[in-house]
Structure 1
Amino acid sequence: MTKTPPKQQGAARNLDPQDWDAFRDEAHRALDAIIDNIRGLRDGPVWRPASSEARAFFRREAPREGQALTRTLQEFERYVAPFSMGNRHPMFMGWVQGAGSPTGMVAEMLAAGLNANCGGRNHIGLDVERQIARWMARAFGFPEDASGIFVTGASMANFLALLVARHHATQQLNVRLNGLGALKTTLVAYASRDVHNCVRQAMELSGLGARHMRLIASDERRAMRVGDLAHAIAADRAAGLQPFLIVGSAGTVDTGAIDDLDALADLAREEDVWFHVDGAFGALAALSEKLRPLLKGLERADSIAFDFHKWLHVPYDAGFVLVRDPQAHLDAFKSDAAYLTRAPRGLAAGEIWPCDLGPDLSRGFRALKTWFAIQTFGVDLLGECIERTCRLAKKLEGMIEASADFSMRAPVTLNIVCFGVTQDPEGALASEIVMALHESGEAAPSLTIFDGTPAIRAAIVNHRTTEEDIDRFMGLLNGELARARQRLAAADAKARAPQPREAPRGPGRTPLSQD
């Protein structure tokens, strides 16, 4: 092994270790510690609030002088690791968040070691990203040459897809150059009322305006009413407006509902508008042969937004947007700049770089951890894990339906179970149960709102969650319901109790007397 040369007197300092062997030992200890942390997840709480000591620690001024890596790792163990989000834990069911994997952690470490900027240039990181695009194009039934790019998450992916759709609808007017003032009429988009709020936000950020996002009513399964959509489009055309985008949902954020994607594709073709699918987590159900039929019509979309960091458990963050027409994708973002000049050979070679397909020039190597997940686990196992979470959701749905104390609030399509307390018209008991479970560290469901009333939402995403965990969760619900009733009854009794009258302020004087 090559020994680190002694530090030269007066040499300029840099950020590499002065003692590589000592650094190696510390790095190995850190890796062992986080592996132990993941391995022992079940032994700890799902979540605990940050201590006052930890909060105070992160209000300190930035240090002028550095410290040993050993001490920084000790501070991480004391002030960070115990108070993380909790989404790795098998009893975390609060939001649709991936649990990560030890394999993904190693991949993230390797990507950090390479420190590749994947915005462009001629290096292997771009080939890895292109392979992911081809793999997903095949999984979703898209053409082999479909264009794709990694982004932070589905919110950004939906935004980029909307920009592609806007450019496609207005390419003769060159809105990229002339701005929205060049439009001859108002562009209008359509989605279900259950669509993720990021789609509405995309309309705001694109300059088209949220008021021009038509939210179409949903049916009893929380899927968009296609007939209502057709009427809305006809009304807007009659008013002189220009429909340009239909957004279908493959797994809505609240309930996991899936729109009739085939019918939406038919209507989009008839109306000559862009058909985009927000498949943030649900699109990856295509990896399961059993679940794939639920997504019929996805293969006809013009673009799809989805996340690898949800159901594939790639470490955060790893969102993706896939566009059927590579030229439409390129036209929406490509810009010429001297510092992006291409060359026939060398590091500047390459016709299309990722920076031509989105707004980011500086981009991390998100593709590597995604490639590790697919390459290491294989599509079949990933599909099995997705399918199992849906099976567990159906098990929980059956237990709720069999309970006298709880009742379902929405149908279960994929892996999200929404329910409430049977006699809880204002949702107070549901809210108490969720907060108490969080504080106990035993489980972490979340709250959502149906018709103005809070409901409990269990999103079963974690590949570590088992049938025994669902049984335990049901037991915890029953226990917390009993305690929540006691707390609310005590609070109600206290509120109804007569309050003592205020004593007079002086002889013969009442609180309202005046001089």
Structure 2
Amino acid sequence: MAGPGPVTGDVLIERIGQLEALSRPLEPDASERLALREPVVAYAERFLEALADLPAYHDTEDLGAGINKSRIGEGPGPIEPVLDLLREHVDGPGLNPASAGHLAYIPGGGIYTSALGDYLADVTNRYAGVFFGGPGAVRLENHLLAWVREVVGYPKTALGNHTSCGSLANMIALATARDAWGLLGKDYDRAVLYLTSQTHHCITKSLRFLGLGQCVVRQVALDHRYRLRPDDLAQQIREDRSNGLRPWVVVASAGSTDVGAVDPLDAIADVAAEEDLWYHVDGAYGGFFALTSEGASRLKGMERSDSLVVDPHKTLFLPYGSGVLLVR
């Protein structure tokens, strides 16, 4: 049985025209964009103007489950029902980080001008993954990383990466420490990581994601202010080394998420240097307090770490999600 004949130019042009008509709603003209944008901006303005009276937490009966009843269709629809869904089932229930009464969790409301930056970035959709494709976007990211480097006191030779969150940035830091120390699979069950009960859970989770679940994890004792005790750290390192293990990384907190504790970063740097450990500081919460004179004093020693994480979407109040990793 003979197969279909070759496609003629006229048929191909007709098919392209059909596909163009189908995709046309994805490219609204200026008047259509305005009709979409005005209700969205009005929604945002109503939200901002009502902030003073909005509760920090709104407990609803279905906790947003009504969003699952919304139909995901193939054709276009009016914007107003979508905004109603957003208001009732997404922005209504749960925690409102932008509320004036919000004090119980770290992230706060995003800065409005940053939201506008997000809007422009999404509209232009520049690719920052390769310099050739977006040289300006790559330069912008590196420019911001250089500013963060100056804030935390890292040298000009330090490099970094902008991530979506501190958890991912911490995971990249541990991968960097693994490669810098030349750890291989046969070494994992002897490699030791030191942390405390105040260390963010993403550290141990990252070990599992990176295939480092066999590593030995030691909890270092805390002082009365929930800070890592350098004397106990040094003792545990010596004991592990005498038992044939390989002390590898110590993770310090520059503002723990539970109580805001800042470990004695300078003293930990001394121990890490003396014992030849990779020194990582998780400053996702508190690192940017280095912008203040008191914060810079409390964070002294952070600049001596081998790697450091800070979260702009926490202390700088930028929209989610924004994390930064720096490596000396």
The answer to whether TM tops 0.5 is: yes
Name the stretch that deviates more: 10-19 or 240-249: 10-19
Cross-structure match for 1:25: 35
Q: Show CA shifts across 1:474-515 (max 9, x none).
A: xxxxxxxxxxxxxxxxxxxxxxxxxxxxxxxxxxxxxxxxxx
Residue number in structure 1 paired with 2:49: 39
Q: Does 2:164 correspond to 1:152?
A: yes
- Kindly tell me: are residues 283 and 57 of structure 1, through their superposed partners in 2, closer, same or farther at Cα, counting changes over 3 Å? closer
Give the Cα separation in 2 of the matches to 1:210 and 1:285.
35
1:291 has 2:291 as partner: no
Give secondary structure in 2 for the equivalent of 1:234: helix
**Partner residue in 2 for 1:89:** 99
| Alpha carbons of structure 1 residues 97 and 20: separation in structure 2 relative to 1, 3 Å | same
- Alignment partner of 2:278 out of 261, 271, 274: 274
Match of 1:316 among 316, 320, 327: 320
TM-score (norm 2): 0.87
Q: Is the 8 A contact 2:164 2:321 kept in 1?
A: yes
In the alignment, structure 1 residue 12 sits paired with structure 2 residue 12:
no
Match of 2:86 among 73, 76, 82: 76
Q: Which amino acid aligns with 2:22?
A: R
- Aligned counterparts of 1:69 and 1:40: Cα–Cα separation in 2: 21
1:228 maps to which of 232, 238, 243: 232
TM-score, normalised to structure 1's length?
A: 0.57
Moved more, 186-195 or 35-44: 35-44
Shift of residue 53 of structure 1?
A: 9.5
- Write the letter of the residue equivalent to 1:135: W
Runs of 5+ consecutive residues of structure 1 not aligned to the other structure: 1-8, 325-515
1:117-176: CA deviations, max 9, x gaps? 322232211111101111011111111131111112111111111111111111xx6x4x
Corresponding position: 1:125 with 2:137: yes
> Are 1:169 and 2:209 matched, yes or no?
no
Asked whether the 8 Å contact 1:218–1:224 carries over to 2, the reply is yes
Q: Is the 8 A contact 1:98 1:312 kept in 2?
A: no
* SS in structure 1 of the partner of residue 126 of structure 2: coil
Instruction: Say how many residue pairs are matched.
Output: 309
CA 52–194 in structure 1, closer or farther in 2 if over 3 Å, else same: closer
Question: Does the 8 Å CA contact 1:35/1:102 hold for their aligned counterparts?
Answer: no
Aligned to 2:98, the other structure's residue is in SS state coil
Larger relative contact order (C-alpha < 8 A, sep ≥ 6)? 1
The one-letter amino acid paired with 1:206 is L
Between the aligned partners of 1:134 and 1:304, the Cα distance in structure 2 is 14
Query: AA paired with 2:169?
Result: A
Q: Distance in 1 between matches of 2:308 and 2:247?
A: 19
2:213 and 2:233 mapped to 1: Cα distance?
19
Contact 1:304 1:321 (8 Å CA) reproduced: yes
- Give SS of 1:244's match: strand
Q: Which amino acid aligns with 2:145?
A: A
Shift >6 Å, 4+ stretches: none
- Unaligned residue ranges in structure 2 (runs of 5+): 1-16
CA separation of 1:22/1:54 partners in 2, compared to 1, >3 Å: closer, same or farther?
same
Residue 266 (structure 2) pairs with residue 262 (structure 1) = yes
